[in-house]
Amino acid sequence: MSDSAVNEELLSKIDSFIQELKEMGMPDIVFAAASPEGGIAVKYDGEPRAILYLVRTLDLNIMFDSMQQMAMEVSILGREDNS
């Protein structure tokens, strides 16, 4: 199967999933995925202000989670001496 066929199949599955979510009463949807090779798929559907709110909230959640993870690493491994 060629890369374009795989991409078309993947995009079709994402579109179907988004449609299912909308049918379940979720009008505002943001979907993002990345491949190990660096490929990125981003799809969104809904009211633009709601989409922006979702993206900003996701951004903050990821930032806070990564900060907590770094704090845990420091507490477990100790702080590096950079002097």
80 three-class SS: coil
Distance CA 77, CA 72 (A): 8
Distance CA 15, CA 31 (A): 10
- For residues 49 and 26, the answer to whether their CB atoms sit within 8 Å is no
What does DSSP assign to residue 21? H
Give tens-digit pLDDT for 6-52: 578 888 888 999 999 999 999 999 998 888 888 888 889 999 999 99
> What pLDDT does residue 16 have?
94
Confidence grade of residue 82 (pLDDT, cut at 50, 70, 90): low
* pTM for this prediction: 0.63
Distance CA 77, CA 7 (A): 42
